[in-house]
Amino acid sequence: MVIGADLEKIIIVGGGGNAKVIASILLKLNTYKIIGYVDFTDKGKLLEIPFLGKDDKIDYYLKKNKELSAVIGVGQTKVDRLRFDIFLNLKQKKINLPAIISPRTILNREVNVDEATIIYDNCVINSGTTIGKCVIVNTGSIIEHDCMIGDFVHISPGSVIGGGVSIGENSFIGLGAKVIQSVKICPDCLIGAGSVVLKDCSEPGVYVGVPAKRIK
């Protein structure tokens, strides 16, 4: 585990597989001291990072350190509001929620990344793109130039987002999905794994296939 009094102290919220990957990124960054993780249940050590208890333990550590940070380690496999609820709860506690960006990813010039967003290993995000709050840009994803990625979006591993694409908040882009240039995806859409989006998704729902079509 990272040690050092001058490092920013951080707690991971969640103890599953996604949290484990985030812990690996934090350790590579070498700018945080990971205090531990919180979850509903003790899942044992997370890459040697200890279990602290349930979410109320965050309040205990905040009293000891007003500059404490947190990262949301809870993943997402569908369109839901879980990460949104966790984010709001942490904001109410006034805890810092930094963007976490893997040192093994590429962010080109004029890319803006908002708080609580996590960008995993081997991603490429090109110039002019804006990424909102609490977004997951998962392993190996490509987001081309001048895209707008809304709050609480999850872009799954291996996805490719063409230039000038807009993705509305709380949408989920499945494994290996592709979105061609200039397409607009409205909020609360799920794009199925391997799907190819060739035209705007103007209604919330599930879109699958090549080309992607709304099925519900």
From 63, 92, 121, give the residue that closes a domain: 92
Residues 106 and 171 in one domain: yes
- 164 and 193 together in one domain: yes
Long-range contacts: 170-176, Cβ < 8 Å, 24+? 170/79, 170/81, 170/84, 171/79, 172/76, 172/77, 172/78, 172/79
80 & 43 share domain? yes
pLDDT tens string 7-35:
899 999 999 999 999 999 999 998 999 99
**What's the whole-model pTM score?**
0.93
Q: Determine, yes or no, domain membership for 13.
A: yes
Residues 67 and 122 grouped into a single domain: no
pLDDT of amino acid 154? 96
29 and 65 inside one domain: yes
pLDDT (0 to 100) of residue 4: 47
Specify whether 164 is located in the same domain as 142: yes
Q: CA 191, CA 177: separation in Å to the nearest integer?
A: 7
Question: For 23, which DSSP code?
Answer: H
Give, as one character, the DSSP assignment of residue 71: E
User: Looking at the domain assignment, is residue 212 inside a domain?
Assistant: no
CATH number at residue 150: 2.160.10.10
Question: Is residue 38 included in any domain, yes or no?
Answer: yes
Among 42, 64, 92, give the residue marking a domain's end: 92
Query: How is 103-160 classified by DSSP, letter by letter?
Result: TTSEE-TT-EE-TT-EE-TT-EE-TT-EE-TT-EE-TT-EE-TT-EE-TT-EE-TT-E
> What pLDDT is stored for residue 3 in this prediction?
43
Based on the domain organization, do 61 and 150 belong to the same domain? no
Q: State whether 66 and 143 are in the same domain.
A: no
Determine, yes or no, domain membership for 1: no
Q: Give domain status of residue 215, yes or no.
A: no
Domain end, chosen from 92, 124, 153, is at: 92
71 and 151 assigned to the same domain: no
CATH number of the domain that residue 68 is part of: 3.40.50.20
Number of helices (H), then strands (E), in the chain: 3, 23
pLDDT number for residue 5: 53
Q: What are the residue ranges in the chain where pLDDT is below 50?
A: 1-4
Q: Tell me if 212 sits within 8 A of 191, measured CB to CB.
A: yes
82 within domain boundaries: yes
pLDDT score, position 2: 41
User: Which residue intervals of the chain are DSSP H helices?
Assistant: 17-29, 57-64, 82-92
β-strand partners of 124 = 106, 142
> What are the tens digits of pLDDT across the range 58-76?
999 999 888 899 999 998 7
Residues 105 and 192 in one domain: yes
The H-or-E segment that residue 52 falls in is strand 51-53
Q: Are residues 49 and 130 in the same domain?
A: no
The answer to whether residues 76 and 32 belong to one domain is yes
Residue 49 domain flag: yes
Structural domain harbouring 35:
8-92
| Domains identified in the chain, total number | 2
